[in-house]
A and B are shown apart, each in its own frame.
Chain A
Amino acid sequence: MPITFHIPGPLRVYCRGSQRIEIKSSPRTLGQAFEALFRECPAVRDRLVTETGQLREHINIFVGTENIRFTGEFATALLPGAEISILPAVSGG
């Protein structure tokens, strides 16, 4: 069962306009899923992670309803059919 990324508005321009992107390669971790996403949509990488591979500070990623900052970040295990949401954090001015 493919996993699905929900793409936020500001990133859709780098994902051929898609709101959802399905990854069919059955990644077992979130890191693998993102590598697959970055292969499809290379411009997304530098917009989500820094040069040191850290998730950008004001961006949250949820697997289902769990924020990955509390589940092992990119090592978070994925079940088939997982839904991954990328959301900007509530911050700024």
Chain B
Amino acid sequence: MLGELLGHYRIVSKVGEGGMGVVYRARDQVLERDIAIKVLSSRTVAEKSAKEFLLEEARAASALSHPNICTIHQVGEAGGELYIVMELIEGEPLSRLVAKGSLPVESVLRYGVQVARALAHSHSRNIVHRDLKSANVMVTPEGLVKVLDFGLARRLRSSIFDESARTIDSLGSGSETLVEGTGGVTGTLPYMSPEVLRGEEADHRSDIWGLGVVLYETSSGQLPFRGRTAFETSSAILRELAPPLPSWIPAGLWAIVQRCLSKEPQQRYQRASEVQAALEAVQSASVAAAGSSGEARGPLTIVHRGIRHLAVKDGDVLLLVGTMKGAFVLRAHSERSRWEVAGPYFHGQAIYSLAYDGRGGKHRLWASTSTFWGTFLRSSDDFGKTWTNPQEANVKFPQDCGTSLKNIWQICLGRPTEPETMYCGVEPAALFASHDAGETWSLVRGLFNHPHRPRWMPGNGGLALHTILLDPAKTERMYVAISAGGVYRTEDRGGTWEARNRGIRAEFQPEKYPEFGQCVHKLVLHPARPERLYLQNHGGLYRSDDCGDSWQSISNGVPSDFGFAMLMHPRDPDCVYILPIESGEFRCTPDGRLRVYRTRNSGCSWEPLTRGLPQKGAYETVLRDAMATDGLDPAGIYFGTRSGELFGSIDEGKNWKMILSGLPPVVCVKAVALGEPRPARKSGSGRDAQKGQASAQAKRSADRKKPRRGKR
């Protein structure tokens, strides 16, 4: 054919040959440009109807215009030859790159993101690829990905898949391809999804499976499902789990691959844009970890310019401060005498919750941000220099719930033994869980479907699930606190929940001690004595010694039993801090005196801690999540006020200093001691200030208690 004219294209040279036909480089005589022309073999399109279908689909695919999709210029027929004219791409197919071995993680992510973008674009136009594989992904010398042959697999005859057999052979899998004709199973066997193997119609989620296979293949150099025969390969696809990826692959990428390779389409990502966002999040984490400035990664990462950032090192103490107008990060050396301030991050956005995740060697900050434009969960692996910025809201209600997210009130890390698990408490009151380190989230249906839920009532701040506590001793047990719904406990990891409010007063209800509906403001427990809980109610301070089965009042001598914040001492399970607020409409510190109260005898008595705090004209409010401890010994205690003042004590509350003033209203404060604990003040102390432990609600597993200093 060389030198011949096909339409107005003069064939220049042969580029390649596959089952689908022969690909030539050709010269467009009209537009005077080089193009690729694929002349389909006569066996490819045996029937007239098949030819018409192919033409129809190729025309549809030719409407795709995207930088990551090989553009189809024209579909034509000349002298009985069916041909497809397309963009000429200089580069190598991914299958050839991966035949040399696995690719660097950065390349896997860079190429994967582009393939996901191409799929998102085609799916938005209702075009399913149906034969996504590494042989159909071209990579240019500049690293640009072009996906070939969109939508062309559907009506093609089996013979076109001869091409893929070679691909598989080159990978040494020894597998074969399984193919059928029109209307039957189509695709390349090792890339075929379970539903396609079962003979069901491929949809966009079958392409997401294919993307999962390509990601796995590029990460490991191996196909995820292999067998000596087509039967064995099919069986593996239908029934087996993909072997784990090598240890150097980031956990986030492995989680994405696993979700793409869920056997049931509804368990996979439902949109390619979600895969893209997830890959970009891993990409930004990888880049940040590699010490990059995080520049030029598009809108999926925010780079805060013109803002002072912190250089953080082991042994530092960090304060994470969320305000109604942004987040601030403060850093001090372990003596905690001078604080450097960074931020504001998320300028103008309300930060309802912050968290630090140091599990598994990470240093990850989490923030929930809320504006007119919605609520998003962001993370930073470089202490705030760059933050993820998800394309889609990562925490959202499934459509069948008929409700939408207002705020994320609490980000709670799973137990140290479950480093990939996280929880979010949200408004309207619901619990979300993630088991892939925050990549993907799902609604905890057991609580959402609770028959009490329709009768929970919003308080002034909305109907929020604001507190999540995990029992460190019994991993099936956890608690949530809802305002105004009360305390709920699960004994089966969230499957079923029971109200646990016996003895807690609900002043605003006709029945003062109802089963549920209490307005709980804060709930805390100590890991060393997890059957004991303390509770700051909307009016009332309570303690339970039986996992919430019953509650007794401990409002013994406080100026007001109303308040929001409550904090557990990091080591002493009898020691709790509160910040009383006047009840009713005033809602400020009583008598204009800013006083922290502490019990050291589990609520039998309370003592004011005022040294260094303003005792005149200080009409302050401290919100429920705005008090924290760094867990060091002696414990640093910190709190922020709605008037934007931040106070701290480095001797467990004996003396206080103002750390910062002039902040926007403070919503939440978290404290973190990074790295190895400081030398102990006295024998055995400070043992629990371990690397990577967020402090706020004393999540650490203290294994000892201080001697009790008060009467029981």
Find the residue from A45, A46, A57 having the highest chain B CB count within 10 A.
A46
Chain B residues with Cβ below 8 Å from A11 are: 373
Tell me the bound Cα distance from A47 to B373 in angstroms. 4
- How far in angstroms is the closest Cβ of chain B from A57? 8
Q: Which of A39, A56, A88, A89 contacts B374 (CB 8 A)?
A: A56
- How far in angstroms is the closest Cβ of chain B from A92? 7
Chain B residues with Cβ below 8 Å from A58 are: 372
Q: Are A52 and B393 in contact (CB under 8 A)?
A: no
- How far in angstroms is the closest Cβ of chain B from A63? 20
Tell me the bound Cα distance from A6 to B373 in angstroms. 16
Question: Chain A interface: which of B247-255, B400-408, B498-506?
Answer: B400-408
Per-residue B-contact encoding for A45-56, CB less than 8 Å = 1, 0 else: 111101110101
From known contacts A14-B299, A42-B273, A43-B299, infer whether A52 and B373 are also in contact, taking CB-CB under 8 Å. Answer: no
Q: Which of A39, A42, A51, A56 contacts B399 (CB 8 A)?
A: A51
Tell me the bound Cα distance from A48 to B392 in angstroms. 11
Chain A residues with Cβ below 8 Å from B398 are: 51
Chain A residues with Cβ below 8 Å from B391 are: 14, 42-43, 46
Q: Please give me the residue from chain A that is nearest to B391 by CB atom.
A: A43
Interface assignment of A75: CB less than 8 Å from any CB of chain B? no
From known contacts A13-B299, A42-B120, A43-B299, infer whether A51 and B396 are also in contact, taking CB-CB under 8 Å. Answer: yes
Interface assignment of B53: CB less than 8 Å from any CB of chain A? no
Q: Which of A14, A42, A52, A88 contacts B372 (CB 8 A)?
A: A88
Q: Are B392 and A45 in contact (CB under 8 A)?
A: yes
Q: Are B372 and A50 in contact (CB under 8 A)?
A: no
CB contacts under 8 Å to A, within B369-404, are: 371-374, 390-393, 396-399, 401-404
Q: Please give me the residue from chain A that is nearest to B373 by CB atom.
A: A47
How many contacting A-B pairs (Cβ < 8 A)?
53
- How far in angstroms is the closest Cβ of chain B from A80? 21
Q: Are A46 and B392 in contact (CB under 8 A)?
A: yes
Q: Are B399 and A89 in contact (CB under 8 A)?
A: no
Q: Are B404 and A43 in contact (CB under 8 A)?
A: no
From known contacts A42-B273, A56-B374, infer whether A51 and B299 are also in contact, taking CB-CB under 8 Å. Answer: no
- Besides the contacts A46-B374, A92-B372, what 18 more A-B pairs have beta carbons closer than 8 Å? A10-B373, A11-B373, A13-B299, A42-B392, A43-B299, A43-B390, A45-B392, A46-B393, A48-B373, A50-B374, A51-B393, A51-B404, A52-B399, A52-B402, A52-B403, A54-B404, A58-B372, A59-B372
Per-residue B-contact encoding for A1-28, CB less than 8 Å = 1, 0 else: 0000000001101100000000000000
Tell me the bound Cα distance from A46 to B398 in angstroms. 13
Q: Please give me the residue from chain B that is nearest to A53 by CB atom.
A: B399
Chain A residues with Cβ below 8 Å from B374 are: 46-47, 50, 56
CB contacts under 8 Å to A, within B100-121, are: 120-121
Q: Please give me the residue from chain A that is nearest to B121 by CB atom.
A: A39
- How far in angstroms is the closest Cβ of chain B from A46? 4
Residues of chain A at interface, number, CB under 8 A: 22
Tell me the bound Cα distance from A31 to B403 in angstroms. 20
Chain B residues with Cβ below 8 Å from A47 are: 373-374
CB contacts under 8 Å to B, within A67-88, are: 88
Tell me the bound Cα distance from A52 to B399 in angstroms. 6
CB contacts under 8 Å to A, within B399-453, are: 399, 401-405
Chain B residues with Cβ below 8 Å from A52 are: 399, 402-404
Q: Which of A43, A56, A57, A89 contacts B392 (CB 8 A)?
A: A43
Q: Which of A13, A39, A51, A88 contacts B397 (CB 8 A)?
A: A51
Interface assignment of B124: CB less than 8 Å from any CB of chain A? yes
- How far in angstroms is the closest Cβ of chain A from B205? 17
Chain B residues with Cβ below 8 Å from A88 are: 372
- How far in angstroms is the closest Cβ of chain B from A66? 20
Chain B residues with Cβ below 8 Å from A39 are: 121, 124-125
- How far in angstroms is the closest Cβ of chain A from B351? 15
Find the residue from B125, B299, B398 having the highest chain A CB count within 10 A.
B299
Chain B residues with Cβ below 8 Å from A92 are: 372
- How far in angstroms is the closest Cβ of chain A from B20? 29
Chain B residues with Cβ below 8 Å from A51 are: 393, 396-399, 401, 403-405
- How far in angstroms is the closest Cβ of chain A from B101? 34
Tell me the bound Cα distance from A50 to B118 in angstroms. 26
- How far in angstroms is the closest Cβ of chain A from B83? 29
- Which 5 interchain pairs have the tightest Cβ spacing? A50-B404, A47-B373, A58-B372, A43-B391, A46-B393
14 interchain pairs, CB-CB under 8 A: A10-B373, A13-B299, A39-B125, A42-B120, A42-B392, A43-B390, A43-B391, A46-B393, A50-B404, A51-B393, A51-B397, A52-B403, A59-B372, A88-B372
- How far in angstroms is the closest Cβ of chain A from B526? 37
Q: Please give me the residue from chain A that is nearest to B402 by CB atom.
A: A52
Chain A residues with Cβ below 8 Å from B392 are: 42-43, 45-46
Find the residue from B372, B398, B402 having the highest chain A CB count within 10 A.
B372
Chain A residues with Cβ below 8 Å from B273 are: 42
- How far in angstroms is the closest Cβ of chain A from B325? 10
Tell me the bound Cα distance from A11 to B374 in angstroms. 12
Q: Which of B120, B124, B372 contacts A89 (CB 8 A)?
A: B372
- How far in angstroms is the closest Cβ of chain A from B270? 13
Chain B residues with Cβ below 8 Å from A13 are: 299
Tell me the bound Cα distance from A54 to B402 in angstroms. 11
Chain B residues with Cβ below 8 Å from A43 are: 299, 390-392
Chain A residues with Cβ below 8 Å from B299 are: 13-14, 43
- How far in angstroms is the closest Cβ of chain A from B621? 15
Tell me the bound Cα distance from A92 to B398 in angstroms. 28
- How far in angstroms is the closest Cβ of chain A from B406? 9
Tell me the bound Cα distance from A52 to B404 in angstroms. 6
Find the residue from B120, B121, B371, B399 having the highest chain A CB count within 10 A.
B371
- How far in angstroms is the closest Cβ of chain B from A40? 9
Tell me the bound Cα distance from A71 to B373 in angstroms. 22
- How far in angstroms is the closest Cβ of chain B from A27? 14
Tell me the bound Cα distance from A43 to B274 in angstroms. 10
Chain B residues with Cβ below 8 Å from A14 are: 299, 391
Q: Please give me the residue from chain B that is nearest to A35 by CB atom.
A: B124
Tell me the bound Cα distance from A65 to B391 in angstroms. 30
Tell me the bound Cα distance from A17 to B397 in angstroms. 29
Q: Please give me the residue from chain A that is nearest to B403 by CB atom.
A: A52
Q: Please give me the residue from chain B that is nearest to A43 by CB atom.
A: B391
Tell me the bound Cα distance from A57 to B391 in angstroms. 20
Tell me the bound Cα distance from A57 to B393 in angstroms. 16
Q: Please give me the residue from chain B that is nearest to A46 by CB atom.
A: B393
Chain A residues with Cβ below 8 Å from B402 are: 52
Chain A residues with Cβ below 8 Å from B401 are: 51
Tell me the bound Cα distance from A10 to B369 in angstroms. 14
Q: Which of B124, B372, B396 contacts A46 (CB 8 A)?
A: B396
Tell me the bound Cα distance from A59 to B374 in angstroms. 10
Tell me the bound Cα distance from A54 to B397 in angstroms. 13
